[in-house]
Amino acid sequence: MTSYKAFWQNYVNFSGRSTRADYWIPTIINAIIIGVLSAIAGVGAQNNQWLTSPIGIIVVLFGLAIILPDLALIVRRVRDTGVKHLVIWAILAIIFNIVGFIFALIPTNQFKN
């Protein structure tokens, strides 16, 4: 539990290092929390509207709340492995380019109601 507590205490700490346990314990706990809340929201929602249910909104807010602490944790973990900052930015650029490319391939009328 100290790793999960440290995850929230160091939410904007991009310096320093993080051990494997400091990375994996919060990652697993956050995945479990999101999974359980999503399952509850999906069961209680009607007509596949789980995102607009009260618990669905909590899932989205929790997901938004962990973005910055998770990014800081990833930076600290990568630094702990001895990799330079340039590699971190290169990985992020590749991920964003892949996501942008996928969205560029989706037809325009794909999301019409």
Question: Rg for the chain (alpha carbons), in Å?
Answer: 17
Neighbours of 25 (CB within 10 A): 17
Q: Is the pLDDT of residue 101 over 80?
A: yes
The answer to the question of residue 112 being in a domain is no
The answer to the question of residue 61 being in a domain is yes
**Which of the two residues, 107 and 29, has the higher pLDDT score?**
29
Neighbours of 75 (CB within 10 A): 19
Distance between CA 39 and CA 54 in Å, rounded?
Answer: 13
The answer to the question of residue 110 being in a domain is no
- pTM for this structure? 0.69
Per the structure, the complete domain to which residue 16 belongs is given by 1-105
Q: What is the per-residue pLDDT across 4-44, written as a single tens digit (0 to 9) for each?
A: 888 888 888 888 888 888 889 999 999 999 989 888 877 66
Of 7, 8, 29, which Cα lies nearest the Cα of 18? 7
**Residue % of the chain over a pLDDT of 70:** 87
Contact in structure between 10 and 72 (CB atoms under 8 Å) = yes
